[in-house]
Structure 1
């Protein structure tokens, strides 16, 4: 079947470097998109849907501080971490210093099952957390994007 474009969405939590939201051991909800997939079913593509997801988060650490930062993407959660199916998780060690770290990027993909596609919309949520409750902030851009397509050629 020909490639079928289904949907594309963008979520902007912050679009500048003026933030100071604390990143703690409790995951912070920083991205949320709902991709429309219903059009895949009548075309016979419900089991051939693929989703491409990208995101970025600017993080700052205190002087001489270190932290493990975890980014997680869930499918069909409620916007609270742990309520959806985890499709991506990565933990990065960031070293301390008196400078801001470069923004952290995430690139992920998902092949949702046909029964999820046939519901008509798939919700994807992006969370960020730290292994410490002090000194780590979301200071820069936090943006989450996704697109869905289907078919084989």
Structure 2
């Protein structure tokens, strides 16, 4: 079947580096999108949907500190960590020093089951947490697109 574009969404938690939001062991919601997939069913593409997700989060751990920072993406949660299906998780060790930390990037994909696609919308949420008290300075942006088909 021909490639079918379904939807594309953007969530902007912060679009600059002027923030100072605490990141702790409690996951902080920094991106939330709902991708429309209802058009896949009539085209016979419910089992051929693929989701592309990208995000970025700028953090400040402070000079001479270290932190393990975890980014997690969940499918069809409520916006609270642990309520959805985890489709991506990664923990990064950031070492301290007198340098700026570059923004953390995430790139993930999902092949949701046809039963999820046929509901008509899939919610994806991006969370960040840390084992040390650090700051979300920004930017913090989450993007997603949905398509279907095979050729």
* Alignment TM-score > 0.5, same fold: yes
Contact 1:77 1:125 in 2 (8 A): yes
Matches within 5 A, 1:3-152: 3-132=3-132, 134=133, 136-152=134-150
Q: Map Cα deviations across residues 67-109 of structure 1 (whole Å, 9 max, x no partner).
A: 0000000000000000000000000000012333000000000
The DSSP-based 3-state class of the residue aligned with 1:116 is: helix
The DSSP-based 3-state class of the residue aligned with 2:115 is: helix
Q: What stretches of structure 2 of length at least 5 have no aligned partner?
A: none
**Alpha-carbon distance in structure 2 between the residues aligned to 1:8 and 1:96:** 37
TM-score (norm 2): 0.98
Contact 1:28 1:129 in 2 (8 A): yes
**Alpha-carbon distance in structure 1 between the residues aligned to 2:95 and 2:81:** 26
**Alpha-carbon distance in structure 2 between the residues aligned to 1:32 and 1:74:** 10
- How far is 1:140 from its partner? 1.6
**Alpha-carbon distance in structure 1 between the residues aligned to 2:5 and 2:80:** 29
TM-score (norm 1): 0.97
Q: What stretches of structure 1 of length at least 5 have no aligned partner?
A: none
Q: Which runs of 4+ in 1 moved over 6 A?
A: none
Contact 1:49 1:111 in 2 (8 A): yes
**Alpha-carbon distance in structure 2 between the residues aligned to 1:140 and 1:95:** 18
**Alpha-carbon distance in structure 2 between the residues aligned to 1:128 and 1:43:** 36
